[in-house]
Amino acid sequence: MKDKFYQYIQDLQDSITSKLEAIDGKAIFQQDLWERPEGGGGRTRVIQNGNVFEKGGVNISAVHGKLPKSMQAYFNVGDVNFFACGLSLVIHPKSPMVPTVHANWRYFEMYDQDGTIVDQWFGGGQDLTPYYLFEEDAKHFHTVCKTACDKHDPEFYPKYKQRCDEYFHNTHRNEARGVGGLFFDYCKASETMSMDNWFDFVTEVGNSFLEAYVPIVEKRKDLTYTQEQRNWQEIRRGRYVEFNLVHDKGTLFGLRTNGRIESILMSLPPHVQWQYDHHPEKGSEEEKLIEVLQQPKNWV
């Protein structure tokens, strides 16, 4: 399973980066191959200063070795070995009219001292973070997510949509990071779902990513915007940074397992603002976004 999934994310990285380069028309992804001293490595691809994308990363990694003490406590296990692989992406467009997007699809195995698999699971999801709310964009993104889920279980979309709303939430701000999408974790074999079934589901979601995001980019990338709207985008990006550094499990896992810092922090945007006690004007488009972030909506 780990070989099959790692091959899948390598191919998915190729298809996503080539499509995003074609949309941008100027910038191309810079590739870094890296190795982790304790075992494994990855292939980081970053795009910067493009026509459409100010900064973005589409990274894959496959790491293995002894599970660090900090993560043993987290998973409530003793001395075990692990294997983890996944694709993680964050794209920050230049225009405030184009939403930031994040996605991740991953697979994890844990072994006893004899090398026998004692636990294994899939996780992942995809979510959208707009700076200006175009409701049709949110509906499109969620419709694609629901279609992918419904092919496997009609209960998946409402369940994983709710988990996304709960997870990507800046509790210290009492607001969502964006308009959500899907989030699933610890997807393990059961009476109704084998690991092969989970593989089919996770790859279905992965394959839906470009369909969910690209039409939104193409629709919004040439809209005009003002410096004030750009300022708002940078203020909202600050909330994105706060979430990733304070709450995000993937970031914390990478930092605690001696991951590659540049790859872990590639999710951070290049230009951000933190203005003291900033509030949007009453009745403005900016306030409209905040209202939606304080109360999740059903988009489909």
Q: Helix or strand or coil: residue 43?
A: strand
183: number of Cβ within 10 Å: 21
Q: Which of 48, 49, 6, 19 is nearest to 215 (CA)?
A: 19
- With 0-12 / 13-18 / 19 or more C-beta atoms within 10 angstroms meaning exposed / middle / buried, residue 219 is middle
**Angle 110-115-117 from CA coordinates, rounded to 5°:** 40
Question: Any idea which residues carry the catalytic annotation?
Answer: 102
Distances (CA, A) of 5 to 68, 124, 202, 206, 254: 24, 13, 10, 11, 20
Give dist(CA 121, CA 108) in Å, integer.
5
